[in-house]
């Protein structure tokens, strides 16, 4: 009987971890997208430098 409650607790923790992980990934994705935006700007700068 103890095993069932024990399994249930890990499941709840897993769900909470998944939610936290999803939020963390969401933030990480936002950071990646934000970094990705400056990256394209850097590429044109490099293209402009060779042009000069």
pLDDT tens-digit series, residues 8-42: 655 555 555 554 444 444 455 555 555 555 555 55
The Cα 7–Cα 17 span in angstroms is 15
How many Å apart are CA 36 and CA 16, to the nearest integer? 29
The domain segmentation of the chain, as residue ranges, is 3-51
Both structure tokens of 23: 């939020």
- What was the pLDDT predicted at 22? 47
* pTM to 2 decimal places: 0.14
């Amino acid at each position: 009987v103890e095993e069932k409650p024990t399994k249930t607790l890990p499941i709840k923790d897993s769900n909470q971890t998944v939610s936290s992980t999803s939020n963390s990934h969401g933030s990480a994705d936002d950071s990646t997208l934000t970094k990705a935006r400056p990256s394209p700007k850097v590429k044109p700068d490099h293209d402009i430098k060779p042009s000069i």
